[in-house]
Amino acid sequence: MEEPYFITTRTFTVGNQSLAVRECGDGLPVLLLHGFPDTAETWDDTLPVLADAGFRAIALHLRGYRPSSLAADGDYSVATIAEDVAALADALGLGRFGIIGHDWGASVAWAAAALWSERVAFVVALAIAPSRYVHASLRELLARPHNLYLAWGPIARWWLRRRNLAFVESCYRKWSPNWHVPEAHMERVKSALSPTNRAAAAVAHYRHARLGRPLPPECGSKVRVPSLAILGDDEPSSRKRMFDTFLGDAQPDQRVVTYDGVGHWPHLEVPERFHDDLLGFLADIDA
């Protein structure tokens, strides 16, 4: 990069929500969505890469994650967060935009692309396949049991915060066994999740995935936008099968890539490879 790009922060009122973003650059807008356990700062190395490539990169703090507000209606379902994305795009005056998402952010990205395919220029999704291919099988629950017990309301909140958020460290060790997580990253994530109300909001994603507002039927259709789906090879075999099934349905402008020796956070574990693949994919996008 010839000159550094400075990340600015802004907050928008969208309906009854306050949504905060981190952004830099100009060009085709790209919204970046984080997952759990994580924060919007997970994209801080990617924002200037996108800006340098001629994109306007905008990382959203999902509802419930400070400095965005808690959900005024208590709703943390994927469908509602997808509506946050569309409403934020309206507030920013965006026409067409791309979406990059990781974990829950990937689920939201796929949903938004299904619901507003005329506006979503592309999707880059890490770790999670489109909902059409995601199934809560016994094998998946055994490999990732948190999807079950983090849906247990107050018990889940207690479990997340117990022993100085030891569960967060456990997630990183188990989900990305070959990655030495930087201490600053871990402390930032734990700090974001330490307040009781923020911990409750984070685990509410899991409860609402099972008991909350369902995804609209359109989200079960085949992906209709250009996409790049990335999976670490250290993910459970059940998730690999989901990506394999998606690959079987993929169109010429839809790619599925697996990273050897990588776990749940490809963009942080091998950032150079991720950025190379990302920019190679975006080079073929018709802005």
β-pairing verdict for 254-259 and 227-232: parallel
pLDDT, tens only, 194-218:
999 999 999 998 888 777 678 888 8
β-pairing verdict for 8-14 and 17-24: antiparallel
Q: What are phi and psi of 161, to 5 degrees?
A: -90, -10
pLDDT band per the 50, 70, 90 thresholds, residue 17: very high
| Residues whose CB falls within 8 Å of the CB of residue 180, separated by 6 or more in sequence, listed in order | none
pLDDT band per the 50, 70, 90 thresholds, residue 1: very low
In this predicted structure, what is the pLDDT of residue 168?
A: 97
pLDDT, tens only, 31-69:
999 999 999 999 999 999 999 999 999 999 999 999 999
Q: Which of helix, strand or coil describes residue 35?
A: coil
β-pairing verdict for 55-60 and 17-24: antiparallel
The dihedral sign for the CA sequence 188, 111, 101, 152: positive
In this predicted structure, what is the pLDDT of residue 86?
A: 97
What length is written for the chain? 287
Residue 246 exposure: Cα atoms within 13 Å on the Cβ side: 32
pLDDT, tens only, 74-93:
999 999 999 999 999 999 99
Percent of the chain with pLDDT over 70: 95
* Cis peptide bond N-terminal to 67, omega within 30: yes
The architecture CATH gives domain 8-137+217-282: 3-Layer(aba) Sandwich (3.40)
Measured CA to CA, the distance from residue 229 to residue 123 in angstroms comes to 8
Residue 262: count other Cβ atoms within 10 Å of its Cβ: 23
**What does the block give as tokens for 28?**
């085709």
- Per domain, the residue ranges of the chain are 8-137+217-282
- Residue 125 pairs in a beta bridge with 101, 229
Best CA proximity match to 231, nearest among 242, 217, 215: 242
Q: Cα–Cα distances in Å, from 159 out to 65, 211, 270?
A: 18, 19, 30
Residue 44 exposure: Cα atoms within 13 Å on the Cβ side: 12
The DSSP 8-state label assigned to residue 96 in this structure reads S
